[in-house]
Amino acid sequence: MKTIKMFLISTIMLISLFSFTKLLAQVEEPVKFKFSIEESDNSVYNLIIEAEIEEKWHLYSQYFDFGGPMPLYFAFEQSDDYKLIDSVIESPEPHEEFDDIFGINVKYFNKSAKFTQKIEVLTDKGFNVTGTLEGQACFEDGACIPLNSDMIFAINGGADINNAANGDSGAETPVIVTENNFINTEKDGNSLWSFFFLSFLFGILGILTPCVFPMIPMTVSFFMNKSEKKSKNIFKAMIFGISITLLYTIVGVIVSLTSAGADFTTVLSTHWIPNLIFFLLFLVFAASLFGLFEFVLPSGLANKADAQVDKGGMIAAFFMALTTVIVSFSCTGPIIGALLVKAASGNVLEPAVGMFGFGLGFALPFTLLAIAPGMMKKLPKSGGWLNAVKVVMGFIILAFSLKYFSNIDQNYHLGIISRDMYLVIWIVIFILMGIYLLGKIKFSHDSEVQHVGFFRLIVAMISFSIALYLLPGIFGANLSSIAGLLPPKTAQKFDLLSKSEVNGTDSYLCETPDYSESMHMAYNVNGYFNHEQAIECAKSQNKPVLLYFTGHSCSNCKKMQAEIWSDPTINDYFNNKVIMAALYVDEKTVVLPEEKWFTSSNDGKLKKKLGEANADIQIVNFNTNTQPFYVLMSPDGKVLIEPMTYNSNPEEFISFMKKGIEEFEKNSAE
C-alpha cells in the first residue's frame, strides 16, 4: 500500500511539474546558467558552468539516490579534438536532507552553484565543445520545473557563439514571407467537442465501476429527507451535482492555465521523457483497472469530509460530493489520470474541457436519481458486470498507451515499432477484450460468467469488429478514420497497396532533398524537408511553393494525409504543380549546419535543430503554431491564398490548391 501511495504522490507531482513549467517560464527563469573557460595547464582546460538560483528556489545536485526528483545531468558531445577528464565537479557542498514525499535523501543548492568539467585538448586548431544540461529546480512550496540548456565553449579561438546562445546573435529568425495579409484562426473546436464527449462518456462509465455503483443508494438517500420540503431536497441535489462537476473542473482548469504557451504542448507530445512517462503511466493505469492493485487516497481525507456531512445544511451537500469523489478515486483515478495525460499533450484547453466533461458525466446520474429517487428501482443490481466495465476500460487504456511509445519511435527515428506491428498489437488487444467479454478469460476480481447477456455480447461483437477493421491495415490499407491514432504510412514495413494507392506520377525535384535519409514523404509524394531547398527549386522551375508545417506526433497531420494525400488529383498537384516542403516542427535528431543557426526574434533562443527552427519560422512568419498548416506562396515569399489548417474534404483542398496556383499564374503574367 505504501508503494501505491508513493506512486500516486509522484504522479500528482509529475502533473504539477509539467503544468507549472510554462507559468513560471512566462515570468522569469529561476535558474540562470553562465558558461566560461579557464586554462589549467598547457593542454588542460576547465569548462565552467555557473548557476544563479533565485531566492526560495533550489537546484538539485547530480548525485543522490535514484527514485526522487530529477538530478542534474551534463552531456558533452564526443569529438576527436578533446577528451573528458573525470566527471563534473560541483561546488560548494550541496545541502542534504531527507525528502518525506519521495522517501530518500536528496541534495540541492541554494542561491548559487559552480560546476567544472576538465578536458584535455588534443589539437591546436580552434573548435567548440558543445553539449546540453538537464535538471530540475523546485520552489520552497514544492512546485517544480524542469531545466534544460545548451552548452557551448570556444577552445583555441573556436567560433565564439556563447553570446548567441544567450540571444545576442545578429542572425534572427529567417523571414520567408514578404506579404502576409491573412488572418489565421485555429480550428480546434471540433477536437475540443470530441474530447468533451469522450470525457463525458468516461464520466458515466466511472459510475459503472465496483467502487462507485454500490454507493448510489446510500448517496441518494441523503437527499430524501422527509422532514424537509421536496424543493429543498432537489436544491441540495443540484448543489451536490454542481459540486462534483466543479471539483473535477478545477483540476482541469489548473492544468490548462499553467500549460499555456506556444511550445509547451509540442514539448510534451514530442520529447522522449514525457512520452516515456506517459506510456508507463498508461500501463500502470491499465494494470490497476485489471485488478493488479488499487489507487487509494489517505482515508483521513474521506473521514474529514464525511464529518462535515453529518453537520447537515446546504454546505453538507458540497462535502457529500467531496466524500463521493474521494471514495470513488480507487476506480476513477486511472481514468482521470489517463484523460489528463492525453489532454496535457493536446490543446491547452483540453484539460479544463475534459475534466468538466468527466465531472458532468459522473455527477449527472447521481443528481437525476436524487431528484427522482423512484428511478433507482429500474437500476440493475450490483454484480460481476461492474468489474467487467473496469477491465474493458483497462484494455482500451492499454491500447492507447502504445501511441506514446510510438511518438518516441517516430520523433527519434528509432525504427522499433512499425505501423503494421502497431496494428498487430492493437488487433491482439481487441481480440482478447472480446474473448474476455465472452467469459473465456477471468481476472482476479471477476465473478463466474454463467451466461453472456445481450449488452455484453454487443460489446464483444464491437471488439471483434474493431479487430477485423484493423486487419487490412497490416497490408497497407489507409484506415483513414483512425489514422491520427496510428504511426504514419511512412512507418509501414509491409505494404501491398503502395503502388496502387496513388497515380504514381513523378515529381521533378531539382536535387536530392536534404535529410531524406531519416525523413520520408507518404503516399508517393515528393518534396523537400527545408524551406530553402524548396524555394530555390521553385525559382528555377517557376512554380509556387507549398510549405507544409507538420509533426511526427501530429495526429491531425496523419489523419489528413490518409484522407487527402491519397487522392490522385491532389497527389498530382503535390508532385507536378508545386514544390512542396514538409517542415517538421518536432524533428529532434537533425542538427543544422553551424552557419544556419539563428537566434529567434520570438523567444531570443538559439535555434540549432531543424525542428525548433521550423517551429520558430512558423510562429514568426505566420503567427500560429498549429499543425497541419499549409501555406501556398510564390518563390519570392508572397502568400497566394489564405493558408489551410486541418480539412478532411478533398474538394475543398483541391479548391485551395487550384485558387492558389491560379493566383500565382496571374501574378507571373503581370
pLDDT in tens, 71-125: 898 989 888 889 999 899 999 999 988 876 566 788 999 999 999 999 999 888 8
Q: Do domains 2-165 and 531-669 have the same CATH topology?
A: no
Cell numbers for 644: 489551410
> Tell me, what's the pLDDT at 595?
85
Cell 493505469 belongs to 285
Residue 27 has pLDDT above 60, yes or no: no
Q: What is the Cα–Cα distance from 352 to 381, expressed in whole angstroms? A: 34
Cell numbers for 541: 522551375
In the structure, what pLDDT confidence band is assigned to residue 158 with cuts at 50, 70 and 90?
low
In the structure, what pLDDT confidence band is assigned to residue 165 with cuts at 50, 70 and 90?
very low
In the structure, what pLDDT confidence band is assigned to residue 182 with cuts at 50, 70 and 90?
very low
Q: What is the Cα–Cα distance from 616 to 603, expressed in whole angstroms? A: 9
> Tell me, what's the pLDDT at 272?
78
> Tell me, what's the pLDDT at 15?
43
> Tell me, what's the pLDDT at 89?
93
Q: Check residue 86 and give left, alpha or beta (phi > 0: left; psi -120 to 50: alpha).
A: left
CB 585 within 8 A of CB 615: yes
Instruction: Give Cβ neighbours of residue 386 (< 8 Å, ≥ 6 apart).
Output: 208, 209, 210, 213
**Alpha helices, DSSP H only, in 554-635?**
555-560, 568-572, 610-622
Residue 293 has pLDDT above 70, yes or no: yes
Domain 2-165: CATH class, spelled out = mainly beta
The DSSP result for 33-86, as a single string, is EEEEEEE-SSSEEEEEEEEEE-TTEEEE-S-S-TTSSPPPEEEE---TTEEEEE
> Tell me, what's the pLDDT at 377?
64
pTM of the full structure: 0.56
- CB atoms closer than 10 angstroms to residue 19: 22
Q: What is the Cα–Cα distance from 142 to 288, expressed in whole angstroms? A: 27
Distance, first Cα to last Cα, the chain: 77
**What interhelical angle do 189-207 and 329-344 show, nearest 10?**
170
The torsion angle over the Cα atoms of residues 480, 481, 482 and 484, rounded to 10 degrees, is: 70
Mapped onto helix, strand or coil, the DSSP state of residue 478 is coil
- CB atoms closer than 10 angstroms to residue 345: 24
> Which CATH number applies to 531-669?
3.40.30.10
In the structure, what pLDDT confidence band is assigned to residue 185 with cuts at 50, 70 and 90?
very low
Highest mean pLDDT among 503-507, 659-663, 666-670: 659-663
* Closest to 517 (Cα-Cα) out of 581, 589, 571, 586: 589
CB 376 within 8 A of CB 218: no
CA distances from 514 to 193, 231, 509, 631 (A): 39, 72, 12, 20
pLDDT per residue over 469-521, tens digit each?
Answer: 999 999 888 888 888 788 888 778 877 766 544 444 445 689 999 998 888 88
Percent of the residues in the chain that have a pLDDT greater than 70, as a whole number? 75
In the structure, what pLDDT confidence band is assigned to residue 256 with cuts at 50, 70 and 90?
low
CA distances from 567 to 470, 551, 560, 563, 648 (A): 21, 21, 11, 7, 11
Map out the domains of the chain as residue ranges: 2-165, 189-386, 531-669
> Tell me, what's the pLDDT at 579?
94
pLDDT per residue over 419-429, tens digit each?
Answer: 999 999 999 99
* Closest to 602 (Cα-Cα) out of 587, 592, 617, 614: 617
In the structure, what pLDDT confidence band is assigned to residue 633 with cuts at 50, 70 and 90?
very high
